[in-house]
């Protein structure tokens, strides 16, 4: 079987198999269809390697009435072909198709059927069609936002509701954007001096570990500053590298994380910090701050003193309640556990405990 990018395969699967089948078997059914539930193909990053699991001809169908779910599922169970363009349409393992692998003898096809509002609430913890409050924005991991605004809609026969929901999730409101950026710089300000301190006492491994954490935070900040939802770890570097302005930061971080000694590591970090700081000024979201590094008090380490950017961004937040929040940011800026971040209800419980309204 020749590799076909997943979004292309799945769009053809909808157009050539699902749409005609539903028109014949369930005439008049109102539904939307797309691929928004996760997978490398949603970001256009799937390769032949991706086909060894969780990949194949699949689609998500959304209906307006939960009462339609069972009959649509029954129709698909009975009528879907075994293969499409040579690819098996059924998956083996687990009741959730995302836990299975493509297999010719699989026991579950790759077409999910859900009521749209219920699926959005399960995925996000809220229904964006009703609007997104500040707390909603701060409770949705950016990986989820990358999935829902990436991917593709193949058909929207629900009066455009799926398309409208995605449009609402396109980007943060400016105040929330400022607050999240401030939280990102806060994380950097708390750790930027530790790289040199570790090296000073001979802990080269510890110094590199701290530098790697700073690199991750700078890359996430860089994506946010360019209005790109940061994906999870597997694709963070790939998506960051695709930014038109990324090369100076990529070169700087490669030096910072390379085999060089502490002076080389510091020089790379300095270049990366100053570049992302300049991007922050260029965003126009807050008053400009001098983007050059300086000594860390009387110690021989160069730092950006990132708290200056935290203060400028927080001062520019117009909503007094949001401005008064401690700058812990969105949930995936202080929480890094897959088994929490992939369950909206758990995410909301953690967020409510960290910053109760």
Pairing of the two strands 59-63 and 111-115: parallel
Structural domain contains residue 343: no
Same domain, 73 and 183: no
Answer yes or no: do 137 and 234 share one domain: no
Which residue is it, tokens 């570049």? Answer: 275
Question: Looking at residue 357, what is its pLDDT?
Answer: 67
Q: Is residue 355 part of a domain?
A: no
Q: Answer yes or no: is 85 within a domain.
A: yes
- Residue 110 in contact with residue 90, Cβ under 8 Å? yes
Please tell me whether residues 111 and 207 are part of one structural domain.
no
Residue 287 covered by a domain: yes
Task: Among 152, 169, 186, give the residue marking a domain's end.
Answer: 169
**Is residue 347 situated within a structural domain?**
no
Question: Does the residue 88 lie in any domain?
Answer: yes
Residue 306, domain member (yes or no): yes
320/182 same-domain check:
yes
How many structural domains are present in the chain? Answer: 2
pLDDT at 65: 92
Q: CB-side exposure of 280: number of CA atoms within 13 Å?
A: 36
For position 55, what pLDDT does the model report? 82
Indicate whether 154 and 233 sit together in one domain. no
Q: Which domain holds residue 185?
A: 174-325
Q: Specify whether 143 is located in the same domain as 239.
A: no
- Are residue 101 and residue 249 in the same domain, yes or no? no
Q: Tens of pLDDT along the chain (357 residues)?
A: 688 999 999 999 999 999 999 999 999 999 999 999 988 999 999 999 988 877 889 999 999 999 999 999 999 999 999 899 988 888 765 444 443 444 445 567 889 999 999 999 999 999 999 999 999 999 999 999 999 999 999 999 999 999 999 999 999 999 999 999 999 999 999 999 999 999 999 999 999 999 999 999 999 999 999 999 999 999 999 999 999 999 999 999 999 999 999 999 999 999 999 999 999 999 999 999 999 999 999 999 999 999 999 999 999 999 999 999 999 999 999 999 999 999 999 999 999 999 876
The span from the CA of 91 to the CA of 109, in Å, is: 6
Residues 153 and 180 reside in one and the same domain: no
Whether residue 137 is found in the same domain as residue 32: yes
b/e per residue, 36-47, with b = 16+ CB within 10 A?
Answer: bbbbbbbbebbe
**pLDDT value at position 103?**
46
End-to-end CA distance of the chain: 53
Residue 34 lies in a domain: yes
Alpha-carbon 50 to chain mean position: 18
What's CA 91's distance to the chain center, in Å? 25
User: What CA dihedral angle connects 32, 36, 41 and 44, to 10 degrees?
Assistant: 90
**What is the predicted pLDDT for the residue at 108?**
76
Provide the pLDDT for residue 2: 82
pTM here? 0.94
């Amino acid at each position: 079987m020749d590799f076909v990018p997943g979004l292309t395969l799945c769009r053809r699967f909808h157009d050539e198999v699902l749409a005609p089948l539903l028109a014949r078997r369930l005439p008049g059914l109102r539904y939307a269809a797309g691929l928004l539930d996760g997978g490398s193909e949603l970001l256009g990053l799937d390769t032949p390697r991706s086909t060894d699991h969780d990949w194949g001809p699949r689609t998500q169908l959304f209906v307006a009435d939960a009462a339609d779910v069972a009959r649509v599922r029954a129709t698909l169970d009975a009528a879907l072909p075994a293969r499409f363009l040579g690819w098996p349409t059924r998956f083996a393992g687990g009741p959730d198709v995302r836990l299975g692998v493509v297999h010719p003898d699989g026991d579950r096809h790759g077409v999910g059927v859900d009521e749209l509002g219920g699926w959005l609430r399960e995925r996000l913890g809220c229904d964006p069609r009703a609007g997104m409050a500040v707390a909603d924005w701060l409770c949705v991991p950016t990986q989820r936002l990358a999935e829902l605004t990436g991917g593709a809609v193949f058909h929207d026969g629900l009066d455009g509701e799926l398309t409208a929901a995605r449009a609402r999730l396109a980007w943060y409101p400016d105040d929330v954007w400022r607050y999240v950026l401030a939280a990102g710089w806060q994380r950097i300000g708390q750790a930027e001096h530790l790289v040199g301190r570790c090296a000073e006492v001979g802990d080269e491994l510890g110094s590199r570990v701290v530098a790697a954490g700073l690199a991750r935070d700078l890359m996430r900040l860089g994506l946010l500053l360019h209005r790109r939802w940061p994906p999870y770890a597997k694709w963070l570097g790939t998506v960051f590298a695709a930014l038109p302005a990324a090369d100076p930061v990529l070169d700087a971080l490669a030096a910072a994380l390379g085999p060089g000694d502490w002076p080389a590591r510091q020089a790379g970090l300095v270049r990366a910090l100053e570049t992302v700081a300049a991007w922050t000024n260029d965003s126009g979201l807050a008053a400009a701050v001098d983007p050059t590094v300086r000594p860390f008090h009387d110690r021989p380490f160069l730092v950006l003193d990132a708290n200056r950017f935290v203060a400028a961004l927080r001062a520019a937040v117009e909503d007094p309640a949001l401005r008064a929040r401690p700058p812990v940011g969105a949930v995936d800026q202080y929480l890094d556990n897959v088994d929490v971040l992939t369950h909206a209800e758990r995410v909301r419980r953690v967020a409510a405990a960290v910053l109760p309204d």
